[in-house]
A and B are shown apart, each in its own frame.
Chain A
């Protein structure tokens, strides 16, 4: 798509400490220039995706309500690459981790966890499987599929680099069965130690714990991390970026994402400069067929609503969906009929209706017994509920209540 009229780079595009602006108003920046410095170990640098001038440092309100610092850059249209950009010299684990850290890569599947941290597990010698998540996390989204087809070589390079430097003997690429082209393509190029696994097409197949169980048969203990069962999970887009970065040295400044929804005129996958205002992306996709009722970052199951279209695209966005007013309307909730669909559909085996009941009763002891904090908010319980009860949001509140020791 053409260059946006301006980009807004939020300093909080990842899990962990926000980055600190490294530029000031009037500064000249290039493609790949660091504009935000990582604010700690679990944090990430932010880079400019355009060459141009810093228009100012402002604040934006993220969909979750947090107010974040953001750097606004007006592109000059020349797209001059920062002279400092060179392919990183990687020779061992340390230099590999440093390179990933410098690239500004965060988990591109949606979580936004800084990848350099993920690639520095404490029990490195126990890790024996690299799992590539190509399950496409939610309905509507097809950006992972495009990644398999377009960035095949980078994916392979990225996988081989991670396997080499972290000394992981085996890699499994998990792809949902509804992407036969991607499966065939990856099978045709897979080298020794890389296995392509076809997975049933079933949400939430791309949820980390579910994926690990389905690909390796291992159950991640709670509370715990995938590394506790010897697994490192990376999204396919993240690993493709690693491959690309090692070859070019260009940090994370663009993102491929799916633009879809019933009011989008021309739904498509677009490679977007990070920081592009949603409005300009919508314009590029032909605009809306009717006034949208709801616009989301991410998929329909876990995506966050944005309040206005001036919000910028973030690193970890993999979709922007726009729905009509009719589709945006939440159906009216009626009495629970105890059909048990929420319980039987929960990928983690939780009992949604009991958790919600315990939350309504303020019964923290029961919430602990029911392991409400295990919930990953995938939204499946709400989706299947015939009474249209908002179970997932209630469980999210229940988790907060557990943390606060009983206060709603």
Chain B
């Protein structure tokens, strides 16, 4: 027969969205923060980010090549991991350490578990934690205000004087000590809003996470604004905790995850003696996600009601 028709199962059309487009939007959303980090911490920030991203993409390519798997580099997920990992490093971190972090994130956490979609925890978070534990001194050697000043003098942008923790504007703009992508709250907010507007992420996790932190900091007698704007909270809430693979899928589940994140973060910040509150909160949330997931399924049409009636 010359006129052969294709026969497949329905549906015959799919949405224009793809994994690649979603990851591309996340990269785009991270760009303002990248620019801010370069302005705040100098050109070194850009080089460190480039090295980390390149390392992540290389490891993804090399591992799949070695294992004779299909090369998934085009889906851009390794680029996202690279960006997020770099944003979790202080600007002065030696490059080889960044490469080690990339190896842990991509090969150990992501690829060994089966690649995109099969990792149990956020690769960038585990990369950061591993670096923080392994190279504690270097990872916590945040460029302090004087370092910022030193860097600032090397950049054309003048960084205004004294950076007290209570100065909200400073926290918003991010010209204070910290890792690359954490300090400038305003660019993270812009990126986060872009992702919410393009429906890449749901606002449920960031909003409940931040709200829980705000409420608990008032309860603990801490300044909620400082708590919200400092540390890795903003970056974590918008970009790391919302990672599809390692967070719950339903709104109910996201609500639970957001509250859990807020509680763990504030407990670590209030009672712990380390500054990795957000990282560990997200890692713990990643680990309990499967349990949240099975207990927060949606109501099914015509079935939820029946159960309720049966319970009477």
List residues of chain A with CB under 8 Å of any chain B CB. Answer: 63, 139, 209-210, 213, 219-222, 224, 291-296, 300-309, 323, 325, 327-331, 334-340, 343-344, 346-351, 353-354, 370-371, 374, 377, 379, 382-388, 390, 392-393, 396
Q: Shortest Cβ distance from A23 into chain B, in angstroms?
A: 30
Beyond A221-B305, A335-B72, whether A349 also contacts B300 by CB under 8 A is: yes
Nearest A residue to B1 via CB reads A308
* B 276-312 binary contact with A (CB < 8 Å = 1; else 0): 0000000000000000000001111111111000000
* B3→A302 contact, CB < 8 A: no
* A224→B13 contact, CB < 8 A: no
Mostly helix, strand, loop or mixed at chain A's interface? loop
Which residues of B lie under 8 Å from residue A396 when comparing CB positions? 9
What are the 8 tightest A-B residue pairs by CB atom distance, in nearest-first order?
Answer: A340-B249, A379-B11, A393-B9, A222-B302, A335-B117, A349-B298, A305-B7, A349-B300
* B 1-40 binary contact with A (CB < 8 Å = 1; else 0): 1010111111111110111011000000000000000000
Q: Shortest Cβ distance from B153 into chain A, in angstroms?
A: 44
CA distance A210 to B301 in the complex (A): 8
* A221→B12 contact, CB < 8 A: no
22 A–B pairs (Cβ distance < 8 Å), ordered by A: A209-B302, A219-B301, A219-B305, A221-B302, A222-B300, A222-B303, A295-B5, A296-B12, A305-B7, A335-B19, A335-B117, A336-B117, A337-B244, A343-B250, A348-B302, A349-B303, A350-B298, A351-B297, A354-B297, A383-B14, A386-B22, A393-B9
Which residues of A lie under 8 Å from residue B5 when comparing CB positions? 292-295, 305-309
| B118, CB-defined interface residue at 8 Å | yes
Other than A221-B302, A308-B3, give 11 A-B pairs with Cβ distance below 8 A: A222-B301, A293-B5, A294-B12, A295-B5, A301-B12, A336-B117, A350-B300, A379-B10, A386-B17, A386-B18, A386-B19
The range of chain B's interface size is 35 or more
With a 10 A CB-CB cut-off, give which of A336, A384, A396 has the most chain B CB atoms: A336
Q: Shortest Cβ distance from A99 into chain B, in angstroms?
A: 33
* B8→A371 contact, CB < 8 A: no
* A374→B3 contact, CB < 8 A: no
| B245, CB-defined interface residue at 8 Å | yes
* B 93-121 binary contact with A (CB < 8 Å = 1; else 0): 00000000000000000000001111000
* A374→B19 contact, CB < 8 A: no
* A374→B14 contact, CB < 8 A: no
Which residues of A lie under 8 Å from residue B12 when comparing CB positions? 294, 296, 300-301, 303, 305, 323, 328
With a 10 A CB-CB cut-off, give which of B14, B19, B117, B297 has the most chain A CB atoms: B14
Q: Shortest Cβ distance from A236 into chain B, in angstroms?
A: 23
CA distance A346 to B163 in the complex (A): 50
* A301→B117 contact, CB < 8 A: no
Beyond A339-B244, A382-B11, whether A305 also contacts B6 by CB under 8 A is: yes
* B11→A305 contact, CB < 8 A: no
Which residues of B lie under 8 Å from residue A139 when comparing CB positions? 13
CA distance A170 to B17 in the complex (A): 42
* B118→A335 contact, CB < 8 A: yes
Which residues of A lie under 8 Å from residue B77 when comparing CB positions? 337
Which residues of B lie under 8 Å from residue A294 when comparing CB positions? 5-8, 12
Nearest B residue to A224 via CB reads B302
CA distance A266 to B75 in the complex (A): 39
* B14→A388 contact, CB < 8 A: yes
CA distance A147 to B189 in the complex (A): 50
Q: Shortest Cβ distance from B120 into chain A, in angstroms?
A: 11
* B115→A335 contact, CB < 8 A: yes
List residues of chain B with CB under 8 Å of any chain A CB. Answer: 1, 3, 5-15, 17-19, 21-22, 72, 75, 77, 115-118, 244-246, 248-251, 297-306
* A392→B11 contact, CB < 8 A: yes
Which residues of B lie under 8 Å from residue A300 when comparing CB positions? 10-13
CA distance A343 to B302 in the complex (A): 16
Q: Shortest Cβ distance from A358 into chain B, in angstroms?
A: 12
* B10→A304 contact, CB < 8 A: yes
CA distance A387 to B117 in the complex (A): 10
Which residues of B lie under 8 Å from residue A302 when comparing CB positions? 10-11
In-complex Cβ contact of A392 among B10, B301, B305 (8 A): B10
* A330→B8 contact, CB < 8 A: yes
Nearest B residue to A325 via CB reads B6
CA distance A186 to B15 in the complex (A): 33
CA distance A383 to B301 in the complex (A): 20
Q: Shortest Cβ distance from A111 into chain B, in angstroms?
A: 14
CA distance A175 to B169 in the complex (A): 52
Q: Shortest Cβ distance from A294 into chain B, in angstroms?
A: 5
Which residues of B lie under 8 Å from residue A293 when comparing CB positions? 5-6
CA distance A385 to B21 in the complex (A): 12
In-complex Cβ contact of A328 among B6, B251, B299 (8 A): B6
In-complex Cβ contact of A338 among B7, B72, B249 (8 A): B249
Which residues of A lie under 8 Å from residue B245 when comparing CB positions? 337-338
With a 10 A CB-CB cut-off, give which of B21, B75, B301, B305 has the most chain A CB atoms: B301
CA distance A385 to B14 in the complex (A): 8
CA distance A390 to B12 in the complex (A): 10
Which residues of B lie under 8 Å from residue A349 when comparing CB positions? 297-301, 303-304
Nearest A residue to B115 via CB reads A335
With a 10 A CB-CB cut-off, give which of B11, B18, B117, B300 has the most chain A CB atoms: B11
Beyond A219-B305, A301-B11, whether A337 also contacts B3 by CB under 8 A is: no
With a 10 A CB-CB cut-off, give which of B248, B251, B302, B306 has the most chain A CB atoms: B302
CA distance A330 to B11 in the complex (A): 10
Which residues of B lie under 8 Å from residue A336 when comparing CB positions? 117
In-complex Cβ contact of A347 among B19, B115, B301 (8 A): B301
Q: Shortest Cβ distance from A324 into chain B, in angstroms?
A: 11
In-complex Cβ contact of A344 among B249, B300, B302 (8 A): B249
CA distance A292 to B5 in the complex (A): 7
